[in-house]
Structure 1
Amino acid sequence: MTHQDDWTEDRAKALLRAMFDAAVAAADPARVLAAHLPEPPRGRCIVLGAGKSAAAMAAAVEAAWPDVDLSGVVVTRHGHAVPTRRITVREASHPVPDAASEAAAQEILAAAEAAGPDDLVLALISGGGSALMAAARPPLTLADKIAVNRLLLRSGLTIEDMNRIRRRLSRVKGGGLARAVAPARLVTLAISDVPGDDPAAIASGPTVADPTAGDDLAPLVARLGEDLPPAVRDMLLAPPPPPLPDMDADYRLIATPQMSLLAAAEVARAAGVTPLLLGDALEGEAAQLGIAMAGMARATARHATPTAPPAVLLSGGETTVTIGARAPGRGGRNTEFLLSLALALRGLPGTFALAADTDGIDGTEDAAGAVIGPDLRTRAADLGLDPQASLDAHDSWTLFEATGSLIRTGPTLTNVNDFRAVLVTGRVG
């Protein structure tokens, strides 16, 4: 039996990091993409794509098909490009689109429209594609797209509701890319970063029909308020465009949050720790989830419920941080979750946690997330920092930077959303 006394801080944090690394590796295109490719075409293959992993996926296609006639263009986030020889890689802004996002979308649509009936089009889709491939429906402008994206990011809306709006405003989302590709054969390879792995939600579904095309978006318009640009408001309240015809979709998920959680669970078992998978689609306010997860950790430590320690609570999904009227500090949803968790745990002995975005960037900061132990509040106090004040100001990054708790990986070139692990090493009285 493993006892709490056997768990040093270094050992606990090393195990948490090993689980996170395994989760990221399980979604590495270089490892997983080739197994999902269709038969190589006899003619040419046009590769199109968008997302934080698009360049890495393109490089994996080139490695798997060295003798295939490949061409095409993909767009990824600034800093996420990798060398390719036959497929053009563009970079653009995320999470708010820019002129490069619009130019990349136009280039991708032009390549799609040039595909012939004998061609194979491979669409490489991953999280972040909504901002990176931005083509507004007329009469909207790029400025309208930028304004609505900024508004959505601070709105507190779920990713599902954000995507309902994004699809309605775009020429390429909600199946727009598939319409441009026809009549060529289309195969989509996707890395999921959304709860439930819904193809219509991954990068707002450029190769699948919009299942919400007929929805009344007036309630969402009301929630977003007067900050919506007038042209955007008019388009969201107007009758929706005609739905796309049924598509013969060949859509293949090559990596998902659940696959990554299972890989992390195997690392835990090998270390003699019981993994509890709480789900790959947890949503809601990051701070509230931190409080809920602290309650589960406390029950595990005090009552061996739902299992005896050592155990680790694993979860994925995408939480929300709703920003109030005042300007926020620095931080993302993972560090906000951890700070709330630490406050709710109140220094519970033998409890450690890691939360990070699998793409290597938590929000807009330079860290993937952070890792904490039971002494976080004490360490913060020694530096003159107030964790509750930091949480109230959405300034978690600053506190974790000062305490040396941040995890910096750089771009991982994949994205299966957030990874959270709460490790309870032993019983407490």
Structure 2
Amino acid sequence: MDNSQSEFSSQTEIKDPEAFLIDLFHSAVNAAHPKEVLAKYLPKDTNKRAVVIGAGKAAASMAQALEQHWQGPLSGLVVTRYGHNESCKHIEVVEAAHPVPDDAGQAVAKRIMQLVEGLTEDDVVICLISGGGSSLLSLPAGGIKLSDKQAINKALLKSGAAIDEMNCVRKHLSAIKGGRLAKASYPATIHTYAISDVPGDEATVIASGPTVADPTTSAQALTILENYNINIPDNVKAWLQSPESETLKADDPALKNTHFTLIATPKDALDAVQKQIEKAGIKALVLGDKIEGESKEVAKVHGAIALNIAENAQPITPPCVILSGGETTVTVKGNGRGGRNAEFLLSLAISLQKKQQYYAIAADTDGIDGSEDNAGCLLTPQTYKSAVQQQLNLEHYLDNNDGYSFFKATDQLLKTGPTRTNVNDFRAILIL
């Protein structure tokens, strides 16, 4: 189904639950889009010449918004995911691979480092950062090959490691992350504008913090790899054991001219959606924007809360919406086509036991669930009817990490295309 647009009047919101949920998702996206939020965070004086660099799924849309509001001369280079480009007049946009880095990402990272070399204290650098920047801005350090980083990245993605753990490893294998981009830019002044896609909105985790201090260590990176039983080549191990692999810390003088500003967060998106729900005359229960853990287990908790609301009117009474954000993980054990949001809804469908008063949406605000072509999926009473008609076994699909295939069969994939922002996952359960 094509869900790029959804319009309906306030009188028909609950009469059309699917359209209502889709509209909530679009509201979450709009609340975090650069065209809506960047301008208010820019300095009053925008007449200075600035060098622009950046990386992430929203990098191109951030660059476009910057060009519309910055008065002085701009030049520079940003990298975004394939298919996430936007038209810019002065800032070059290059596309590269995500979530596993490729040669294009490595080449543009080298060019970005060259752009900031030799700047003076009179120069201004604007760095535009968003989720996905870790993979897109890939420049291996210490004689490490890109193929080494690709293999480690793939293993981490399958391991169930949390985003902060993955980025700890990425930073210590990189010549550009963990504050090293700021060091290359010194003594220029750097203004970093960031869209957060990580629970807790930690500056050092967003795109692996190329312009900020990093509190993690190389020893921690090694421990993470060991904990997830990820085999690494001898050259990678030797590098992580070397003092040279350590990232920049808070007392590093190269960071004294850096400024970091969050322009959009998962909480911003949930706050906007909560207001929309309450304006429609129903209640909202916000579980938080920092939800982490295995997708299927997180779904069980959400399902238990939904059942308690429907059966016992606790902690709130229906009609209502349960909202949550954050980034869950999937430990891949099957060989199906997944996505953490599809996995979440599969598990939720099992938890809700074919009840008729539940509708749900789970989708990534960047428009891509994992590495598939959908943002996420929808769960409705029709889901169970389609499953019965087609003899689809929910438990089998969940065991095989094959949520995409299940919801494709029920025609409930949510396909929006790239949204050009990224504040993590959005989940809403409507209880009528």
TM-score normalised to the size of structure 1? 0.94
- Rounded to whole Å, the distance in 1 between the matches of 2:204 and 2:388 is 46
Q: Which amino acid aligns with 2:80?
A: T
Q: Does 1:152 align with 2:156?
A: yes
Distance 1:22 1:168, change over 3 A: same
Question: Alignment RMSD, CA only?
Answer: 1.7
The answer as to whether partners of 1:342 and 1:374 remain within 8 angstroms in 2 is: no
Q: Does 1:284 align with 2:293?
A: yes
Match of 1:369 in 2: 376
Distance 1:7 1:29, change over 3 A: closer
Match of 2:30 in 1: 25
Deviation at 1:173, TM superposition (A): 0.7
The answer as to whether partners of 2:168 and 2:220 remain within 8 angstroms in 1 is: no
* Secondary structure of the corresponding residue to residue 420 of structure 1: strand
2:361 pairs, out of 354, 369, 381, with 354
Distance 1:35 1:385, change over 3 A: same
- Rounded to whole Å, the distance in 1 between the matches of 2:151 and 2:184 is 26
Segments of structure 1 that go 5 or more residues without pairing to the other structure are 1-5
Distance 1:226 1:407, change over 3 A: closer
* Secondary structure of the corresponding residue to residue 93 of structure 2: strand
Q: Which amino acid aligns with 1:176?
A: R
Q: Does 1:60 align with 2:62?
A: no
Deviation at 1:374, TM superposition (A): 2.8
* Secondary structure of the corresponding residue to residue 176 of structure 2: coil
Match of 2:7 in 1: none
- Rounded to whole Å, the distance in 2 between the matches of 1:298 and 1:174 is 44
- Rounded to whole Å, the distance in 2 between the matches of 1:126 and 1:45 is 19
Distance 1:42 1:369, change over 3 A: closer
Deviation at 1:364, TM superposition (A): 0.8
TM-score normalised to the size of structure 2? 0.93
Match of 1:316 in 2: 325
Match of 1:296 in 2: 305
Q: How does 1:225-244 map to 2 (within 5 A)?
A: 225=229, 227-239=231-243, 240-241=245-246, 243-244=248-249
The answer as to whether partners of 2:365 and 2:424 remain within 8 angstroms in 1 is: yes
Deviation at 1:210, TM superposition (A): 0.9
Match of 1:49 in 2: 54
- Rounded to whole Å, the distance in 1 between the matches of 2:234 and 2:15 is 54
Q: Which amino acid aligns with 1:94?
A: H
Distance 1:69 1:218, change over 3 A: closer
Distance 1:407 1:226, change over 3 A: closer
Q: Does 1:205 align with 2:209?
A: yes
- Rounded to whole Å, the distance in 2 between the matches of 1:230 and 1:129 is 27
Q: Does 1:175 align with 2:179?
A: yes
The answer as to whether partners of 2:50 and 2:123 remain within 8 angstroms in 1 is: yes
- Rounded to whole Å, the distance in 1 between the matches of 2:23 and 2:110 is 41
Q: Does 1:107 align with 2:116?
A: no
1:395 pairs, out of 402, 410, 419, with 402
Deviation at 1:228, TM superposition (A): 2.2
Q: Which amino acid aligns with 1:314?
A: L
Please identify, of 210-219 and 379-388, the stretch whose mean Cα deviation from structure 2 is larger.
210-219
Match of 2:314 in 1: 305
Q: Which amino acid aligns with 1:377?
A: Y
Segments of structure 2 that go 5 or more residues without pairing to the other structure are 1-10
**How many residues are paired up?**
417
- Rounded to whole Å, the distance in 2 between the matches of 1:122 and 1:415 is 19
